[in-house]
């Protein structure tokens, strides 16, 4: 059986109603209102973002692995924005509405600090052994994929290959620089720039100053999401911006003259799945996470989205080498303590709005 297509938003009342329905299962069986197969199914509520990503993970993690049939389960999807998933998981911490949900490392850190997610069971998620520690945060988060974010630039207009974050403040590119909005990946961006300029999680003065020079000083275009970034680069309305490798590869394949450079303290985004504490199906949820970390599904994600896999057993095909981090950039990623960042989140947002955006 395949996962249902509907989007689900569970309120407390609906959760109680779901429990009441479960109590009626024997009577419904006796009346013939449901089949034994339907009664035996376990529903797994999965919170994730939508669009092409949802289509891909349904195909790869469920259909191709046969997960639902194998475990006599039905996945019910709750499609939300990244921030909404975390907010919803925090607000339902004591009575989780999710069995598992998608999270980045920053969101997972928030949930862990609030004691809303459970530790992974290594006896169930056996594929953890084949994932390097660089993709893990404590015992509660592991990246399924890593989105690499370097300086993507139009080779027709940017003649000199960029070498650092400071290229975004170069007057030659005034009005042609793209910067992600804070609610997208702007907060991560701030801390990567901050690290490049000698700042720390507690002291963002260098990052705020450098970001203001880019945004206000160089008339940067604020980019709302990846699709908007694609469009701006295609139309040559921007010439340079921190952007995803997979998007760059697809743009290049479509004829847009772009390339990427991984500067010192470049940004990356790890995406994985976490299991709420007190969840109804802790073991089954972790079995699904284990399936996402297996080499075969990870290779399919690489082929479909051009995102770097995390299982070391994945053999990257020659024609997809551009999707993984090149040797020259192996130790260049910004090293950021996201739990520490979360301690100053309100302060950082206020400073970004006042000092970077000038609002």
Count CB-CB contacts under 10 A for residue 46: 25
Delineate the domains of the chain, giving CATH numbers in brackets. Answer: 12-145+270-323 (3.40.190.10), 147-268+325-356 (3.40.190.10)
pTM assigned to the model = 0.81
Q: pLDDT by residue for the chain (359 residues), tens digit each? A: 333 333 444 444 434 434 443 444 444 445 554 454 444 458 999 999 998 999 999 999 999 999 999 999 999 999 998 889 999 999 999 999 999 999 999 899 999 999 999 999 999 999 999 999 999 999 999 999 999 999 999 999 999 999 999 999 999 999 999 999 998 999 999 999 999 999 999 999 999 999 999 999 999 999 999 999 999 999 999 999 999 999 999 999 999 999 999 999 999 999 999 999 998 999 999 999 999 999 999 999 999 999 999 999 999 999 999 999 999 999 999 999 988 998 999 999 999 999 999 98
Rounded to 5 degrees, φ, ψ at 102 are -75, 140
For 133-237, where are the alpha helices, taking DSSP H only? 187-196, 205-215, 226-234
User: What radius of gyration, in Å, describes the C-alpha atoms of the chain?
Assistant: 22
Q: Crossing angle for the helix pair 245-253 and 226-234, nearest 10 degrees?
A: 40
Find the angle CA(262)-CA(356)-CA(80) to the nearest 5 degrees. Answer: 70
The H or E element containing residue 308 is strand 308-309
């Amino acid at each position: 059986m395949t996962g249902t297509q509907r989007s689900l938003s569970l309120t407390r009342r609906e959760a109680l109603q779901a429990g009441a329905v479960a109590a009626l299962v024997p009577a419904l069986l006796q009346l013939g209102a449901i089949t034994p197969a339907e009664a035996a199914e376990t529903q797994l509520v999965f919170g994730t973002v939508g669009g092409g990503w949802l289509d891909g993970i349904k195909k790869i993690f469920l259909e191709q692995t046969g997960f639902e049939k194998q475990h006599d389960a039905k996945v019910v999807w709750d499609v939300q924005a990244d921030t909404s998933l975390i907010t919803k998981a925090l607000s339902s911490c004591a009575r989780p509405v999710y069995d598992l949900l998608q999270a980045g490392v920053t969101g997972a850190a928030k949930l862990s600090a609030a004691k809303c997610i459970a530790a992974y069971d290594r006896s169930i998620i056996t594929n953890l052994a084949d994932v390097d520690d660089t993709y893990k945060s404590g015992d509660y988060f592991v990246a399924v994929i890593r989105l690499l974010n370097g300086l993507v630039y139009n080779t027709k207009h940017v003649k000199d290959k960029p070498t650092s974050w400071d290229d975004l403040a170069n007057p030659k590119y005034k009005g042609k620089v793209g910067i992600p909005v804070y609610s997208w990946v702007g907060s991560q961006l701030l801390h990567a720039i901050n690290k490049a300029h000698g700042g720390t999680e507690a002291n963002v003065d260098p990052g705020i100053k450098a970001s203001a020079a880019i945004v206000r000083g160089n008339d940067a275009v604020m980019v709302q999401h990846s699709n908007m970034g694609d469009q701006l680069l295609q139309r040559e309305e921007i010439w340079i911006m921190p952007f995803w490798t997979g998007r760059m590869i697809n743009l290049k394949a479509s004829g847009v003259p772009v390339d990427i450079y991984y500067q010192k303290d470049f940004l990356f985004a790890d995406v994985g799945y976490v299991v709420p504490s007190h969840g109804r199906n802790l073991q089954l949820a972790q079995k699904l996470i284990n399936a996402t970390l297996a080499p075969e599904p990870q290779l399919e994600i690489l082929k479909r989205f051009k995102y770097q896999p995390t299982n070391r057993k994945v053999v990257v095909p020659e024609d997809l080498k551009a999707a993984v981090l090149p040797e020259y950039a192996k130790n260049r990623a910004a090293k950021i303590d996201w739990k520490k960042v979360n301690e100053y989140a309100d302060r950082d947002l206020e400073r970004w709005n006042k000092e970077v955006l000038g609002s």
